Structure 1
């Protein structure tokens, strides 16, 4: 399971890389200065150069006076992938890192699906949901797959499996792998890593998450963990169960996962407004 410590290590590494780049540039400047000066001015330059190398004249990023980044958003190229939608990026600082948020997914299929987002364990996924919901990113989009793993796949306005916003973020809160079998001949451990009702992120490629997510309507027991968990359905599981019975046909990739009937997200909200979302009547 990814922890706050894991996130801080990644952020610290990125900061360290930036510091190394600045130090290398200062060293190059120092060498240029010393190459062009004579002996008579060496003493003056030792004093000034020491201050310069030490960063006295650089506008270095503050280390103690400003809040650190909670999340890093990796830009994605919308020119290379025309299925991406430009909506900007969420903030990186002052994001919630504790508690939960309520997410309500109102579809054209029965009662709304309400989930509790685990902000403490997946703050970046929760922040992304909140940001995109505020942009109405998910509204009037279709859930394009009912997967063989037992989940409804949503969050891609293009419906291709390649779409999303023009940013991505790393995995969080990935469940631990099942314990190995006692012997090579024994059957693998029968461990439910994604119980029915789990809300998980799905990236393309794996580990590169953005807006696409899974709503599991049955227990999933993979040999290895595959997805970041962001929350749990608290009501509306019966809606997911009903959706799971919709027949599927082949998609453009030849996988029999495309719903034969439309499953449309009419609205997706996060926060206080979610609890007031109206129920949608079931439609065929």
Structure 2
């Protein structure tokens, strides 16, 4: 897939950032950090670095390291946020200890793990890199109209032949599924889900939203075959989205379900340095 576009991704910064703010607010109130702030934080899938300020506002003294596999995202983060350290690398490589950073008091991730192949298998290793807390959020909207329509339109001709394979459903677990995957001695777990209703503004806002994230691999693949084919697809897909997400006088509502998971080491395990 072609590289990500920080500019397109940041079109809906406030809406995309809300779940991360909610996650970090929850983490900051955990017993692990209520009295002693983390000395370092690793942000997996940090994107363009726009959320590092959220971490620093909570823990001003903590060293923040962002990890992302996108060269464009890392370049933008380094340019606009020199106060943090940014590493270009894969989350799987981080889990295997192949990056410069191997752990932190807090290891967090916002809407990134769903892009990692077989991310479920990596979760115990990712959890164990956290000295005190491992926390993440992933979208749980892969059966929402936006994604159902993406797969439906992409399955039509001429798009199906150009793509060569059906659009993958990037499934994530429900809260209970993640609890089953992360449960282990010395850990306390919490998991929940929230459906946000974002009010998007401007023309074709749902198309613009998903074109910067979930639809990007499909759009890039079609563009590589024929830019005109991508344009035709966007017109057809955009029309379907306008019907599924009708505009209202106050904006276009987009319901977006997200799943949150927090694993914190039990006090005895932290004291023992495990």
What is the TM-score with the length of structure 2 in the denominator? Answer: 0.26
What is the TM-score with the length of structure 1 in the denominator? Answer: 0.26
Highest RCO, 1 vs 2 (Cα 8 Å, sep ≥ 6): 1
Larger Rg over CA atoms: 1
